[in-house]
Structure 1
Amino acid sequence: MNVLQKKFAVLDGQTVHSYTLKNDAMEVTCINYGCIITKILTPDQNGVLENIVLGFDSLEEYQKFSPYFGAVVGRTAGRIKNGEFELDGQTYILPQNENNNHLHGGIEGFDRKLWDAEVIEAENEVGVEFSYTSADGEEGYPGNLKVTVTYTLNNQNEFVISYHGVSDQKTLVNLTNHTYFNLSGNLKRDVLEHELTINSNQFAELNMELIPTGEFIDVNETAFDLREGKKIREGVESGHPQNLLAGKGYDHPFLLNENNHKEIVLFDEESGRKMIVKTDEPSVVLYTGNKLEGQFDIRGTKSRNYSGLCLETQGLPDSIHHSHFPSCVLEKDEEYFTKTTYMFSTAK
């Protein structure tokens, strides 16, 4: 196992580096701009190594076109209604960067920051530790928040993302990674034939602006019942009002029934690739790329709807406005920590 560091770009006089984590079977490449995962190369059932995530080869493309490809988003993932919230009687105003709402940390969120990076080379794993301090008032949030995001890869083909944060004031924190997966390899096909299993009995109902209403809907007898696995196509072709609302597909938080026990499985039968996701987060937001059509090229392939799907392990979006949701409030000097593991294999 080893880590290869290279120059990726120059941003405002500072070098953006890429880091490629390699084990005996696969590799993960990321950059210290937005902690973006640019490539994950894994073998198919015939041993052919191909890229299974959406991304670009230049910083300019990420800055101009990217729908959060591969990035860490924060301080809060998802939408915050009306771009405002209240803590201890004080109202905080956030940038409204999607309609009237605040999305994925704002105009200059964590996905657009240059992070410090330190290579990790241990006996059983390799990785990169990214760190960034979000100043008090950045994008409207209170508190100086020190954040560390660590990517590690081991020889069991486990890729682990760990998030850590501490603030000197009470604030909101809800981090996730926004990688778009496509297990066909090198974007040969869309993800409609991918089979997805999520151990979840309920999902959060969304309003017309894709913000949780506060209600949970039972998945029984709907395209949202992924407990035994369903092809993505079923949700795209579903007439369920929530599937139609999301633009014919999914953009929904699923409440997880359990944690750290293979609660999410993505499988592509044609390539044989399988990805198992374990997390300590209460939910996963499934987004099936319903709005990717024709906006840009992805390494020579015109973007199209359902080119990839996101599995954003996180707290529920807009939880600050719903007291019965798991809280994303971080107290002063309290430690924020969460971890998600991705395990890659093939099924012959």
Structure 2
Amino acid sequence: MRERPTLPLFTAPALRRRWPLVAVVSVGVLAGGAAVPAAAGDDSGGGSGSDASTTVEPFGTAPDGTPVERWTLANGDMTIRVLTYGGVIQTLEVPDQHGEVDNVVLGFADVAGYASDADPYFGSLIGRYGNRIAGGQFELDGTTYQLPLNDGPNTLHGGPVGFDDQVWTATPVGDEDVAALRLELVSPAGDQGFPGTLSTAVTYTLDDERRLSVHYEATTDAPTVVNLTQHTYWNLSGEGTGTINDHHLRIDASAYTPVDETLIPTGEIAPVEGTPFDFRESTAIGERIRESDQQLLYGQGYDHNWVLDRDDDGARPGSDAEDPLEEAAELHDPESGRTLTIWTTEPGLQFYSGNFLDGTIVGTSGRTYRQGDGLALETQHFPDSPNQPGFPSTELRPGEVYDSTTVFELGD
């Protein structure tokens, strides 16, 4: 197991208490656009800092005419491009074991792709509630809330107009050592049926150790439920190169949450031992994906939440843990030699094996995406938690702060 990373986080001290949740990724992408002076920030980042830069350029408009920006964060041999539309990580480039640089995430070449009904949440920030809520309904403090349905009988990823379809406000907050971008969004009370006005900030921080930190913060003026995540699709061989079935995956989880035919958890926390869901040892994704297991049939592959083996309580609201960042998973591509290691403060990890990519989507490289051409590893609280009293709570109340981090580190 690798040493737990220590990352500079550009956040106000008042927002570093409850809900500790963080995400980090290592990247490399071609920089472009006009240079933007970095805001003053934490100077504790590693490395010489001589290569850290943040630039911005116009990138079309949202469907309502709002201008969209594309920000490029670069540091050493890593670069990512981030859109203010949906907070999307559009490209993420990093060298392989031979020094060849590739984009290793799936996406679209323009805003229209991300705004279309065909978008499977490529690279997006997900909110207010990542994953599914059964029947689009939950009860909180004696009041029942009905959300719009957008996934059969359920609500998925916050509803039909979630955070992935909003234009976020971006502010550069890096320094000479790290490239960092803070994205902010205010979701008014009643947005997609959720109670409370939710103020959300997400900071992407790129250091020179091939790590990208995604740090989530949120506050509310009324009781509500929150489950934020990042929905990047990975292919460590390179975007558009084909299947990820030969990638090897390890998930540090002894249990998972089985689902019904609509992919809603049954409430059971089941052991992975003896099932196709046992990734405690690194295993090729395609090795068991075609087994006649009912859970695989429901999802047409993997589309489930793993219950991570954590030393703490899973960073529930009110947790006193100061730094509960723990290793959750490792993805390795034998062909390129790239390895993606994920640390998180979250109690769960949704592994989705790209089952519903069907060859109708054209990606950033001009190639089409077919089933299994990318996978998502979404750190999160569990699906349907508002209706599952046995799951870690996703309730957030006035005076509390949702504070979450996940780390994706790319090595070769």
Please report how far the alpha carbon of residue 216 of structure 1 lies from its aligned counterpart in structure 2 after TM superposition. Answer: 1.6
2-side partners of 1:312 and 1:229: how far apart? 18
Equivalent position of 2:334 in the other structure: 269
RMSD: 1.0
Native 8 Å contact 1:235 1:250 kept in 2 = no
2-side partners of 1:155 and 1:319: how far apart? 37
Native 8 Å contact 1:73 1:176 kept in 2 = yes
Matched, 1:5 2:56: yes
Matched, 1:183 2:248: no
Native 8 Å contact 2:244 2:285 kept in 1 = yes
- Which residue, out of 101, 106, 109, partners 1:49? 101
2-side partners of 1:252 and 1:13: how far apart? 36
1-side partners of 2:90 and 2:386: how far apart? 32
Equivalent position of 1:15 in the other structure: 67
With normalisation by structure 1, the TM-score equals 0.97
* More deviation, 254-263/22-31: 254-263
Matched, 1:171 2:236: no
Unpaired runs of 5+ residues, structure 2, are 1-51, 311-323
Aligned CA distance change for structure 1 residues 144 and 261 (closer, same or farther; 3 Å)? closer
Please report how far the alpha carbon of residue 26 of structure 1 lies from its aligned counterpart in structure 2 after TM superposition. Answer: 1.1
Greater relative contact order structure (CA < 8 Å, 6+ sep): 2
Native 8 Å contact 1:85 1:92 kept in 2 = yes
Write out aligned runs for 1:62-81 (5 A).
62-64=114-116, 65-81=118-134
Please report how far the alpha carbon of residue 261 of structure 1 lies from its aligned counterpart in structure 2 after TM superposition. Answer: 3.4
Please report how far the alpha carbon of residue 226 of structure 1 lies from its aligned counterpart in structure 2 after TM superposition. Answer: 0.5
- Which residue, out of 302, 311, 319, partners 2:368? 302
Matched, 1:324 2:375: no
2-side partners of 1:186 and 1:290: how far apart? 16
Native 8 Å contact 1:169 1:333 kept in 2 = no
Unpaired runs of 5+ residues, structure 1, are none
| Runs of 4+ more than 6 Å apart | none
| Letter in structure 2 aligned against 1:250 | Y
With normalisation by structure 2, the TM-score equals 0.82
- % of aligned pairs identical? 38
Equivalent position of 1:225 in the other structure: 278
SS of aligned partner of 2:268: strand
Equivalent position of 2:79 in the other structure: 27
Equivalent position of 1:38 in the other structure: 90
2-side partners of 1:5 and 1:69: how far apart? 21
Q: Deviations over 1:23-47 (max 9, x none)?
A: 1111111101110000000101110
1-side partners of 2:53 and 2:263: how far apart? 42
Please report how far the alpha carbon of residue 13 of structure 1 lies from its aligned counterpart in structure 2 after TM superposition. Answer: 3.6
Please report how far the alpha carbon of residue 52 of structure 1 lies from its aligned counterpart in structure 2 after TM superposition. Answer: 0.3
Decide which structure has greater strand share: 1
2-side partners of 1:5 and 1:135: how far apart? 28
Native 8 Å contact 2:106 2:234 kept in 1 = yes
Equivalent position of 1:193 in the other structure: 246
1-side partners of 2:343 and 2:239: how far apart? 25
2-side partners of 1:254 and 1:233: how far apart? 18
2-side partners of 1:23 and 1:29: how far apart? 12
Q: Deviations over 1:193-225 (max 9, x none)?
A: 000000100000100000000012211122111
Write out aligned runs for 1:100-179 (5 A).
100-179=153-232
Equivalent position of 1:256 in the other structure: 308
